Chains A and B, each alone.
Chain A
Amino acid sequence: MSSEEAFVSIRGMSFSRGNRLIFNNIDLDIPRGKVTAIMGPSGTGKTTLLRLIGGQILPDVGTIEVDGHNVPTLKRTQLFELRKKSMGMLFQSGALFTDLSVFDNVAFPIRLHSDLPESMVRDLVLMKLEAVGLRGARDLMPAELSGGMARRVALARSVALDPEMILYDEPFTGLDPISLGITVKLIKSLNDALSLTSVLVTHDVEEACTIADYVCLLSEGGVIGFDTPENLIENGSEQVRQFMQGKPDGPVPFHFPANDFSEDLLKGVK
C-alpha cells in the first residue's frame, strides 16, 4: 500500500450479486493525484468497483470513502453534490446524449450546474474540446462521430466541471491504434495538467503500464496485488505475474469451476 494520501479509501467492503460474492471484504486505497489502473480477469467486478465508488450501487457491508465522504451512507442530494464536485466518469460507450450536438453535450453539465452566462459556457466548452482536439467537431451530432472521437468528446464532457477524480471504464477497448495512442496520451496529460486522480479499469496491460502510477489487481473477490507496474511484473506472486504476462493457464485457472469432465461426459450416456 502506498504511503500517499488516499483519495478513495475502501475498508472491509463486500458486495454480492445474487448468490455470487463479487468482493469479499476488500481494503483498497487509491492515492490522490495519481493514475491507478484496476485490472483483473473478466468478471472480477472491475466495472462494479467503479460503480460502487460512484455510488450507483451499494455494497453489502463496509465503507467507501471518497474525499472523506462515505458514499454508501450519503443521502441522494449529498451524493449528487459529491459527484458534481469531485467525480467524473467516462463510460465505455462514451454515453453521449444522442439528441444533443457535441457542443451541447459538453455544455450540458456546465449549464446545469452553474449560472454562467452563455458566452462563458461557450468559452469553457471550447477550451475542453480544444484539449481533446475536437474543437472543429463541435457542431457534429454523436451519430456522426467515430468511436474514438465519441470517447474523446465524452472525456471532454467528464472534465467539464473540473472534477478531482475521473473514473474511466475500459477506455482502451475497441479503439484503433491511433485513437488508442491519443486516448492514452490524453488521460496522462489531463491527469498531470489538472492534477486529477484517475482510476481506470482496463484489460490492456501494456497501455496501463505505460500510464499508470499504480496497478491494482483484482481476482476472485479480493485484491491480489497493489503496487507500481514494474514491481508487480518483477516481484508479484505467481498469480500476479500470470496476469501481467498474459499466460493462459496458471494459478488463475483456465477452466470455469466444474465437476470432473469425464464424469460429466458419462452422465450423458445414462
Chain B
Amino acid sequence: MLKLIDKILDSIQALGNASLGRLQALGRAGVFLLSSLMWGGPGSAGFGDLVKQIYSIGVRSLSIIIVAGFFVGMVLGLQGYTILSDFGSEAALGTMVSLTLLRELGPVVTALLFAGRAGSALTAEIGLMKATEQISAMEMMGVDPLKRIITPRLWAGFISMPILALLFSLVGIWGGAYVGINMLGVDEGAYWGNMQASVEFYDDIIKGLIKSLVFGLVVTWIAVYQGFDSIPTSEGISKATTQTVVVASLAVLGLDFVLTAIMLGSI
C-alpha cells in the first residue's frame, strides 16, 4: 500500500518536474525572442545579411510552395465541384476555392511546408554553427550572436512567410480555376464573378496575411531557438531539427484556431 502511494507520489513529482522544465524552456525561449528583437529593425544587423536570409529562407522555398499551391488548388476544385454539383451550385466553386485558400489553407499549409523546408534547415544550420564553435567564436570577438545570427533570420521569416502564403493562395485559385473551368466546365464568368462578390479584401485577404505574419514569426522563432538551444552533438542537432518541425507544426495548428476565433469574433 505504502509502495503504491510512493509510486503515485513519484509520478506526480515526475510530472511536476517535467512541467517545470517545459515552463523554464518556454521562459528561456521568450527571453530569447525578446532580446533578439530588441536589437531592432530588419536592417539592424546589416542589410546584406537580411537579403541573404530572405534568399535562403524565402526564395528557396518558393518552388515547393508554388507546386504545392497549384496541386492543393486543383484538388479543391475537384472536390468542391463534386460536392457543389450535388446542390446544383457549381457556380459557387470559385467562392469556395478562394475562401478556403485565403482564410485557412494558404496560411496554414504554407506555414507547415515552411516549417519542414526552412525551419528544419535553420535549426540544423544554427546547431552546426554551435557545434563548430562559430557561435562561441563570435562571442569571443565581442559580437553578439543574437544580433548577428538570430535577428536577421527572424526578420527574414517574418517577411517571407506572408509573401509565400499569398503566392500559395494565388496559385491555388488559378489551379482551382484550371480544373473547374477547363476540365469540369464551370462557367468562367461564374467562377470569377462569384469569387469577387464574396471575397472581401480586408476580411479575407488581409486577415489571412495577418495569420501568416504570426506564423512566420512563430515558426522562425521556434526554429532558431531550437538550433540555439540544441546540444551541439550530431544526436542533439538531429533531435532539435525534429523538434522544430513537430513543435512548429503543432504551434501553427493551435495558433490557427486561436487566431480564427479572434478574427471571427471581431467581425
Residues of A within 8 A of B144 (CB): 76, 80
Q: Which of A76, A81, A87 contacts B140 (CB 8 A)?
A: A87
Residues of B within 8 A of A89 (CB): 136-137, 140
**CB under 8 Å from chain B, chain A span 76-133:** 76, 79-85, 87-89, 91-93, 95-98, 108-109, 112-113
**CB under 8 Å from chain A, chain B span 107-150:** 129, 132-134, 136-137, 139-144, 148
Does B141 contact A84, Cβ atoms closer than 8 Å? yes
Complex CA gap A90/B142 in Å reads 14
Q: Which of B132, B133, B134, B141 contacts A83 (CB 8 A)?
A: B141
Complex CA gap A97/B128 in Å reads 11
The closest CB in chain A to the CB of B142 belongs to A84
Residues of B within 8 A of A91 (CB): 133, 136-137
A-side interface size class? 20 to 34
Residues of B within 8 A of A81 (CB): 142
Does B136 contact A80, Cβ atoms closer than 8 Å? no
Does A98 contact B136, Cβ atoms closer than 8 Å? no
Interface centre among B133, B140, B141, B148 (most CB of A within 10 A): B140
Interface readout for A59-85 with B: 1 if CB under 8 Å, 0 if not?
A: 000000000000000001001111111
Interface readout for A34-52 with B: 1 if CB under 8 Å, 0 if not?
A: 0000000000000000000
A212 CB–B CB distance under 8 Å: no
A56 CB–B CB distance under 8 Å: yes
A54 CB–B CB distance under 8 Å: yes
The smallest beta-carbon distance between A198 and chain B, in angstroms, is: 15
Does A109 contact B133, Cβ atoms closer than 8 Å? no
Residues of B within 8 A of A97 (CB): 134, 137
The smallest beta-carbon distance between B52 and chain A, in angstroms, is: 8
The closest CB in chain A to the CB of B128 belongs to A98
Does A93 contact B132, Cβ atoms closer than 8 Å? yes
The smallest beta-carbon distance between B35 and chain A, in angstroms, is: 10
Does A92 contact B140, Cβ atoms closer than 8 Å? no
Residues of A within 8 A of B132 (CB): 93, 95, 98
Q: Which of A80, A93, A95, A98 contacts B142 (CB 8 A)?
A: A80
Does B140 contact A54, Cβ atoms closer than 8 Å? yes
A161 CB–B CB distance under 8 Å: yes
Does B133 contact A56, Cβ atoms closer than 8 Å? no
The smallest beta-carbon distance between B51 and chain A, in angstroms, is: 13
Complex CA gap A90/B134 in Å reads 11
Complex CA gap A167/B142 in Å reads 14
Interface centre among A84, A88, A97, A161 (most CB of B within 10 A): A97
Q: Which of A56, A82, A98, A112 contacts B134 (CB 8 A)?
A: A98
The interface of chain B, by Cβ under 8 A from chain A, is: 129, 132-134, 136-137, 139-144, 148
20 A–B contact pairs at CB < 8 A? A56-B139, A79-B142, A80-B144, A83-B141, A83-B142, A84-B142, A89-B137, A91-B133, A92-B133, A93-B132, A95-B134, A96-B134, A98-B132, A108-B141, A109-B141, A109-B142, A112-B148, A113-B141, A113-B143, A167-B140
Besides the contacts A76-B144, A84-B141, A93-B132, what 7 more A-B pairs have beta carbons closer than 8 Å?
A83-B142, A89-B136, A91-B133, A95-B133, A95-B137, A113-B141, A161-B141
The interface of chain A, by Cβ under 8 A from chain B, is: 54, 56, 76, 79-85, 87-89, 91-93, 95-98, 108-109, 112-113, 154, 161, 167
